Amino acid sequence: MQILKQNILSTSALFALLFVTMTAALFLVFVYVPTEATMGIVQRIFYFHVPLAWVAFIAFGIVFLGSILYLRSSNRKWDRLAHSSAEIGMVFTTLVLITGPIWAKPVWGVWWTWDARLTTTFLLWFVYLGYLLVSSFASDESQGARYSAVIGIIGFLDVPIVALAIVLWSTQHPEPVMSESGGLTGSMLLTLMVSLAAFTLLFAYLLIHRVSLATAADEVRRLRQFADERDYDG
């Protein structure tokens, strides 16, 4: 209980910062930034679509590191961190897969095409779905954590493939925004940067709460086991 209370207090400042940054991002997206000449109003989806993908990559990077540390140490805290990050990464990847087609329909004329970026992102979603299912359905908790850690390490290989897909293969997906031909004006770049900051803060906020939830659940399980052993039921 004390852990949860401390967490609520320590995340208040983060929440305030998140609120300010997210409000600024929404202002920039809907009021400040000019409408892109070719794609029109629908291009504004980009300012949240890219940060969603960015956060998913950070989340899966944390899964990768947490999985390595768990396999090395068998310390449950690394599994809790990796599992929490994978769950949030899945939420954000799902949103990437939904907002991408909503942008693509008016611009490309189709909801979906099996080009390299889209296909590898779709694959990424299935990899981490597998990660979450393995840890949820394993009969033995530590065995499930070990198996999912292996998926968390191997599955991360797909992240650089997704990131580099538009460079490695000829795709319909727009070019990297930071490249010379990516062509973002100053105001567009500022809007994107503020959105990236806002979503990174959102991720940090969600991760702190998710890890705290996992820690509390583990603690309760340990206490229940202790109570069962001491036969408190009589």
Partner 1 sequence: MDNWEYLVAAYSIIWIAIAGYVLSLSRRQKRPWREIESLKARMRGKGED
Residue 212 touches partner 1, criterion: CB under 8 A: yes
Among 28, 33, 45, 165, contact with partner 1 (rule: CB under 8 A) = 45
Residue 201 sits in the site that holds partner 1 (CB under 8 A): no
* Closer residue to partner 1 in complex, CB, 146/210: 210
Q: Closer to partner 1 by CB, 186 or 234: give it.
A: 234
Of 34, 109, 186, 234, the one binding partner 1 by CB under 8 A: 234
Q: Give the angle subtended at the CA of 161 by the CAs of 160 and 166, to the nearest 5°.
A: 110
What's the closest the beta carbon of residue 191 comes to partner 1, in angstroms? 14
Q: Show the CA angle centred on residue 143, arms to residues 140 and 147, nearest 5°.
A: 135
Task: Return the residue of 10, 40, 126, 177 that touches partner 1, per CB under 8 A.
Answer: 40
Q: Indicate the burial class of 103 (C-beta count within 10 angstroms; 0-12, 13-18, 19 or more).
A: middle
Tell me the HSE value of 43 on the side-chain side, using a 13 A CA sphere.
15
Residue with smaller CB distance to partner 1, 99 or 171 = 99
Angstrom CA distances, 218 to 108, 138, 211, 212, 224, stand at 48, 16, 11, 10, 10
Q: Which is nearer to partner 1, 17 or 164 (CB)?
A: 17
User: By CB under 8 A, how many residues form the interface with partner 1?
Assistant: 37
Q: Which amino acid is at 135?
A: S
Side chain identity, residue 46: F
Choose, by CB under 8 A, the member of 25, 33, 48, 155 that binds partner 1. 48
Q: Which two tokens stand for residue 65?
A: 């590191």
Contact between residue 85 and residue 203 where contact means Cβ atoms under 8 Å apart: no
The site string for partner 1 over 90-129 (x = CB under 8 A, - otherwise) reads -x--xx--xx--xx-xx-----------------------
The contact pattern for partner 1, residues 13-32, with x = CB under 8 A and - = no contact, is --------------------
How many residues appear in the chain?
A: 234
Token pair of 37 as six digits = 């000449």
CB of 230 to partner 1, least distance (A): 8
**Element (DSSP H or E) covering residue 160:** helix 158-168
C-beta of 85: minimal distance to partner 1 in Å? 14
Closest to partner 1 by CB, 71 or 174: 174
At 9, the amino acid letter reads L
Question: What single string gives the DSSP state of each residue in 38-84?
Answer: TTBGGGGGHHHHHHHHHHHHHHHHHHHHHHHHHHHH--HHHHHHHHH
Q: Which residues contact partner 1 by CB under 8 A? A: 1, 4, 39-42, 44-45, 48-49, 52, 88, 91, 94-95, 98-99, 102-103, 105-106, 202, 206, 209-210, 212-213, 216-217, 219-220, 223-224, 227, 232-234
